[in-house]
């Protein structure tokens, strides 16, 4: 979180602290189409946060996913969904509207996407940028994270959106992708997903080669080789 705790209601910062969520922020989504509530109204804001994945597990899938990664992926997704539901209920109890966004929920199976891109909320909440592998990269945890998103109409201090990539000339993820699905282009806000990723090539490869892991929804190789993630692992080992 890049702003002081006093910027937000004390109950919200206490809620995050109690659950050891250290990287979170608020995104201004008034220029975006968001999911609607039961009355058909959209949401102007979203609270976005990340849950880090286990660095040892993430660093161990540079050539292919494994069961440990599939289990960690499922564990973190379950946690995010539990937290999202709980936070939305808390916001509603304070007299505001709110709606959680489920983790990794494909509601459009043809275009392979959900109700709203979690990464858009995260970049606009100032949490990180999008790498050449079409995934969020944070300074704190690299790309080894899963994202949580809760929509709300509660008026909160919004972060300055991230508008610049820090990938530079690095293309390790592009080289490592077994499906050759990554286009190699640098991200910028508003870039079409298709300019970063051939989502169907990615999806088809996973289903053909890694179907045993959540019916082909898991790979993670591109994130595993990212230097920003490996830096996290090195930092942990140096402290050990």
Q: What's the pLDDT score for residue 233? A: 80
Average pLDDT over residues 179-196: 97
Q: What's the pLDDT score for residue 234? A: 77
Q: What's the pLDDT score for residue 235? A: 76
- Burial bucket for residue 39 (CB in 10 Å: 0-12, 13-18, 19+): exposed
pLDDT band of 7, cuts 50, 70, 90 = confident
Average pLDDT over residues 212-238: 90
**What does the alpha-carbon distance between residue 26 and residue 32 come to, in Å, rounded to a whole number?**
14
Q: Look at residue 4 and tell me whether its pLDDT is greater than 80.
A: no
Please measure the distance between the N-terminal and C-terminal CA atoms of the chain and give it in whole angstroms: 26
- pLDDT single digits (tens) 105-145: 888 889 899 999 999 999 999 999 999 999 999 999 999 99
Report the greatest alpha carbon distance in the chain.
52
**What does the alpha-carbon distance between residue 140 and residue 76 come to, in Å, rounded to a whole number?**
17
pLDDT band of 6, cuts 50, 70, 90 = low
Residue 161's φ and ψ, nearest 5 degrees, are: -60, 145
- pLDDT single digits (tens) 107-116: 888 989 999 9
Residues 6+ apart with CB under 8 A from 195: 183, 185
- pLDDT single digits (tens) 62-121: 999 999 999 999 999 999 999 999 999 999 999 999 999 999 888 888 989 999 999 999
**C-alpha torsion 134→136→137→139, nearest 10:** 160
Average pLDDT over residues 193-219: 96
Residue 213's φ and ψ, nearest 5 degrees, are: -105, 95
Total residues found in the chain within this entry = 240
Q: Look at residue 237 and tell me whether its pLDDT is greater than 90.
A: no
**C-alpha torsion 208→212→215→221, nearest 10:** -70
Share of the chain above pLDDT 90, in %: 90
Annotate the chain with three-state secondary structure: CCCCHHHCCHHHHHHHHHCCCCCEEEEECCCCCCCCCCCCCCCCEEEEEEEECCHHHHCCCCCCCCHHHHHHHHHHHHHHHHHHHHHHHHHHHCCCCEEEECCCCCCECCCCECCCCHHHHHHHCCCCEECCCCCEEECCCECCEEEEEEEECCCCCCCCCCCCCCCCCCCHHHHHCCCCCECCCCCCCCCCHHHCECHHHHHHHHHHHCCCCHHHCCCCHHHHCCHHHHHHHHHHHHHC
Q: What's the pLDDT score for residue 105? A: 86
For the record, the structure tokens of 54 come out as 């286990």
The reported pTM is 0.93
Residue 199's φ and ψ, nearest 5 degrees, are: -65, -30
Range of the domain at 68: 5-239
Count of structural domains within the chain: 1
Residue whose tokens read 């709606």: 99
């Amino acid at each position: 979180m890049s702003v002081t705790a006093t910027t937000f209601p004390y109950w919200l910062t206490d809620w995050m602290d109690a659950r050891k969520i250290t990287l979170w922020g608020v995104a201004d989504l008034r220029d975006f189409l968001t999911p609607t509530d039961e009355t058909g109204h959209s949401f102007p804001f979203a609270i976005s946060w990340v849950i880090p994945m286990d660095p040892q597990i993430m660093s161990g899938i540079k050539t292919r996913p494994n069961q440990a990664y599939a289990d960690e992926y499922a564990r973190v997704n379950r946690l995010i969904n539990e937290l999202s539901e709980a936070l939305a209920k808390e916001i509603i109890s304070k007299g505001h509207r709110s709606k959680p966004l489920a983790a990794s929920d494909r509601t459009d199976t043809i275009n392979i996407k959900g109700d709203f891109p979690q990464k858009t909320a995260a970049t606009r909440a100032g949490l990180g940028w999008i790498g050449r592998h079409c995934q969020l990269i944070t300074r704190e945890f690299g790309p080894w994270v899963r994202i949580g998103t809760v929509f709300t109409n509660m008026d909160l201090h919004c972060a300055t959106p991230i508008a610049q990539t820090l990938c530079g000339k690095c293309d390790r993820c592009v080289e490592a992708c077994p499906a050759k699905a990554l286009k190699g282009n640098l991200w910028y806000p508003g870039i079409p997903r298709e300019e970063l990723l051939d989502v169907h090539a990615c999806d088809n490869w996973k289903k053909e080669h890694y179907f045993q892991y959540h019916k082909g929804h898991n790979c993670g190789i591109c994130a595993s080789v990212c230097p920003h993630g490996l830096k996290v692992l090195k930092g942990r080992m140096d402290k050990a």
